[in-house]
A and B are shown apart, each in its own frame.
Chain A
Amino acid sequence: MNISQFLTIFISAVFIYNVILSRFLGLCSFVAISKETKPALAMSLAVMFVTTMSSILTWLIYRFLLIPFHLEYLSTISFILVIATFVQLVEMVIRKFAPPLYRFFGIYLPLITVNCAVLGVAVLNIDMFFVKGKAIAGSFYYSVFQGICVGLGYTLAMLLMSGIRERLELCNIPKALKDFPLAFIIASIMSLAFMGFNGFKF
Chain B
Amino acid sequence: MDKNNLLIVSTSPHLHKKDSVSKIMWMVVLALIPAGVGGVIIFGTSALRIILLSVVSALAAEALVQIFLKKKISIFNGSACLTGILLAYNLPANVPFWIPIVGVFFSIIIGKQVFGGLGQNIFNPALVGRVFLMASWPKYMTSFVKPFNVDGVTSATPLMLLKEGLSADKIPYLDLFLGKRGGCIGEVCIIGLLVGAVFLLAKGYISWHIPFIYIATVGIFGFIFGPSGFFTGDWIFQILTGGLVLGAFFMATDYVTSPLTRKGQIIFALGCGLVTVAIRFWGGYPEGVSYAILMMNAATPLIDRFTRNRIYGTGLRKS
Contacts and interface: CB of A to CB of B under 8 A. Distances in A.
Are A and B associated in one complex? yes
Interface stretch (A61-69, A132-140, A191-199): A191-199
Contacts of B202: none
Interface stretch (A86-94, A144-152, A162-170): A162-170
Contact of B128 (A159, A166, A167, A192): A192
30 contacts: A37-B305, A159-B302, A160-B298, A160-B299, A163-B301, A163-B305, A164-B122, A166-B305, A167-B304, A172-B116, A172-B117, A172-B120, A173-B120, A174-B69, A182-B114, A185-B114, A189-B110, A189-B298, A193-B291, A193-B294, A193-B297, A193-B298, A194-B291, A194-B295, A195-B131, A196-B283, A198-B283, A198-B284, A199-B283, A201-B282
A11 B267 CA distance: 19
A149 to B, nearest CB: 17
Chain A interface size range: 20 to 34
B285 interface: yes
A192 B132 contact: yes
A8 to B, nearest CB: 11
Contacts of B278: 200
Chain B: interface secondary structure?
A: helix
B135 interface: yes
- Nearest 7 pairs of A and B residues by beta carbon: A199-B284, A196-B291, A163-B302, A193-B294, A163-B301, A171-B120, A171-B116
Contacts of B113: 174
B290 interface: yes
A190 B298 contact: yes
B137 to A, nearest CB: 14
Contacts of B301: 163-164, 166-167
B53 interface: no
Contacts of A202: 282
B282 to A, nearest CB: 6
A172 B298 CA distance: 19
Nearest to A170: B120
A60 interface: no
A49 B71 CA distance: 47
B292 interface: yes
A174 B288 CA distance: 32
Nearest to A16: B283
Interface string B113-145: 111110010110000100110010000000000
Nearest to A166: B301
Contacts of A159: 302
Contact of A192 (B69, B120, B131, B292): B131
Interface residues of B, number: 35
B133 to A, nearest CB: 10
Contacts of A173: 114-116, 120
Interface of B: 69, 110-111, 113-117, 120, 122-123, 128, 131-132, 135, 275, 278-279, 282-285, 288, 290-292, 294-295, 297-299, 301-302, 304-305
Contacts of B111: 189
A177 interface: yes
Contacts of B122: 164, 167-168, 186
Most buried by A among B117, B135, B283: B283
A166 B303 CA distance: 13
A196 B290 CA distance: 8
A192 B294 contact: yes
Contacts of A193: 123, 131, 291, 294-295, 297-298
> Which of A37, A196, A201 has the most B CB atoms < 10 Å from its CB?
A196
Nearest to B65: A174
> Which of B115, B116, B117, B305 is most buried by chain A, counting CB atoms within 10 A of its CB?
B115
A189 B121 CA distance: 12
Given A160-B302, A193-B298, A198-B285, A174 B291 contact: no
Contacts of B132: 192
